[in-house]
Structure 1
Amino acid sequence: MPSFTLYTNVSRDKIPDDFLTTTTKLMVEMIGKPEKYMVVHVIPDQVMSFGGSTEPCGNAFVMSIGKLGLQENKKITKAFMEHVKETLGIEPTRMYITFNDEEKMNVGYDMNTFAPDQ
């Protein structure tokens, strides 16, 4: 159920082959949910700018059921921005991360939701 989605103007050929697996491992470490539920989605080659410049930039979204909050989001932001800078060359000042702590009833999976049946 946790997901990390990154829209970026970095071209597909500049995204390392192991970016999905290393980002998944980072999500497991940061959010503490099982790897089998992690989704990492990268949308490269976007026509986008940040601050009027088309230098490498990104817009990321993190969703989880729980495990998010002020202190957690600060740690996740630092870790993901370091990871994205190191692997994709996007400076932390050229990217936003939006967090969504979703309710169990709003996340569908395996023909149901994560909310317990009543």
Structure 2
Amino acid sequence: MPNFRLETNIPKNKVTVDFLKQTTALMAKTLGKPESYCVAAVIPDQPMAWGGSTEPCGTATLMSIGKLGVEENKKHAALLYDHIEKNLGIPRNRWRTFWL
């Protein structure tokens, strides 16, 4: 079951149901998995600083059986970074994804 988990200091009111639905659709597309298997979770309101600044930031984990690797992760990262920056306002240089 593909799982995307983002821990961030942004407030809960910025994490909409539409954002979560768009995230599972994006995961299904990039991983080539059924959307019905994809889980997206955002853990907001975390006390967090990145490089000494408390501006919006976060860390994420993307877990999947298969479909992860050096070249594949570049494609996944590009899609996820654009999605997060556009919808949650976390600049791509203020969060990172760990691949499992």
TM over 0.5: yes
Where in structure 2 are the equivalents of 1:1-118 lying within 5 Å?
Answer: 1-100=1-100
Opposite residue 15 of structure 2, the aligned amino acid is: I
Does the CA-based 8 Å contact 1:16-1:87 persist in structure 2? no
Gaps of 5+ in 2: none
The list of structure 1 runs, each at least 4 consecutive aligned residues, that deviate by more than 3 angstroms after superposition, is none
Does the CA-based 8 Å contact 1:5-1:61 persist in structure 2? yes
Gaps of 5+ in 1: 101-118
How big is the shift at 1:35? 1.1
Aligned equivalents of 1:41, 1:96: Cα separation in 2: 15
Relative contact order: is structure 1 or structure 2 higher (C-alpha 8 Å, sep ≥ 6)? 2
Which secondary structure state, in structure 2, belongs to the residue aligned with residue 18 of structure 1? helix
Query: RMSD value over aligned CA atoms?
Result: 0.7
State the identity as a percent.
Answer: 51
Aligned equivalents of 1:77, 1:52: Cα separation in 2: 24
- Number of equivalenced pairs: 100
- What do the CA deviations read for 1:29-73 (whole angstroms, capped 9, x no partner)? 110111111111110000001111000001000000000111110
TM-score of the two chains, using structure 1 as the length reference: 0.83
Aligned equivalents of 2:91, 2:22: Cα separation in 1: 18
TM-score of the two chains, using structure 2 as the length reference: 0.97
Does the CA-based 8 Å contact 2:48-2:54 persist in structure 1? yes
Aligned equivalents of 2:3, 2:26: Cα separation in 1: 12
Opposite residue 74 of structure 1, the aligned amino acid is: K
